[in-house]
Every structure is written in C-alpha cells, then in structure tokens.
Amino acid sequence: MHLGNNFKIKKAPEAVVHLTDSDFDSVVLDKTKDVLVEFYAPWCGHCKSLKPVTFVLLPK
C-alpha cells in the first residue's frame, strides 16, 4: 500500500486496541510488534483533522 509521496505500509494493521494505563507498556513496548499510537482528545481540532488519515490505515 502506498500513501502520498513517502509513506509506505508493508502490511495493514490487524486490530485497533484502546489502550489503558494498565496495558499501555505491555502493548506499546512489545518489540515483536509495530505499533502506532494515536492520542486523541474529542475537543481538539488537530485530533479531529487526523481522524480521516487514521482510518486510511485501518484494514477494510
């Protein structure tokens, strides 16, 4: 998959996980996985503008 000019994805993500403080380290720091973490605030204009980009990365 190719997005834009310089962004390539080898494989589409398999799942979206809602992290909590109890599982954040075990998921994000797992060296056997590639992880993209999005910090989101519903009132944040920048967060809202990234939502369409984030969903391009999700499997269909």
Contacts of residue 12, defined as CB under 8 A and 6 or more positions apart, other chains included, come to 1, 57, 58, 59
In this prediction, residue 24 carries a pLDDT of 94
- If one counts every other C-beta atom within 10 angstroms of the C-beta of residue 54, the result is 13
Helix, strand or coil, per DSSP, at residue 12: coil
Domain that holds residue 34: 2-56
Instruction: Answer whether residue 2 shows pLDDT above 50.
Output: no
pLDDT digits (tens, 9 = 90+) for 4-55: 545 555 555 566 788 899 999 999 999 998 888 888 888 888 877 776 666 6
In this prediction, residue 6 carries a pLDDT of 55
Longest CA span, the chain: 37
In this prediction, residue 42 carries a pLDDT of 82
CB 18 within 8 A of CB 24: no
Q: Identify which has the larger pLDDT, 57 or 20.
A: 20
Q: How many domains, the chain?
A: 1
